Amino acid sequence: MGGSAVRPPVKWGRKRTVLVVAIVLVLAIPIWWLASPLFIVTEGTEAPPEDAMTVLATGRFVDGEPGHRNSGDAILLTDGSRYVLRFENFSVTNGPDIHVFLAKGPRYAAGDLDLGSVKATQGSSNYGLPPGVDPRAYAYVIIWCVPFSVQFGYATLAFR
């Protein structure tokens, strides 16, 4: 008999099963964190501030880096004592940890004012400016992905 030897079947055992499950979970969590925002759309239906506010500046969003879409209107409102940045008809490609910044230039730079996470990827929302901030010091609204340093879009503010 000159044939090849038959190998016994490989037994997985509990240790090997636990290891495979652990590897799958370790890989699945960051993949879900990175990819899921691309499929999740959040709708903003926040009403404009109820106070009698006047329009201080307006701008229209344009796309950022390739593959990142952005559109809608940025409206800076004031009642004389406080400022609110309002997004209307807003739409942006979702991503992990995207923030709204007031900026001096069309690209993010250290010192730009972080107004927090994007509240919704579509629709309308309001972002209050911190007290003491002079909005005229900023000419742009930037949508920025913090962990990957990617610009999703921006609007140039035209002051009245």
Pairing mode of beta strands 122-128, 158-159: unpaired
pLDDT in tens, the chain (160 residues): 556 677 777 677 788 888 888 888 888 877 776 666 666 778 888 999 988 789 999 999 999 998 888 999 999 999 988 999 999 999 998 888 899 999 999 999 999 999 999 999 999 999 999 999 999 999 999 999 999 999 999 999 999 9
- Among 87, 77, 88, which Cα is nearest to 52's? 77
Residue 59: C-alpha distances to residues 69, 140, 160 (Å): 16, 8, 11
> Which pair of structure tokens corresponds to residue 90?
């807003």
pTM equals 0.77
Q: Which pLDDT score, from 0 to 100, does residue 100 have? A: 98
Q: Which pLDDT score, from 0 to 100, does residue 35 have? A: 66
* Domains assigned to the chain: 43-159 (2.60.40)
Q: Which pLDDT score, from 0 to 100, does residue 84 have? A: 97
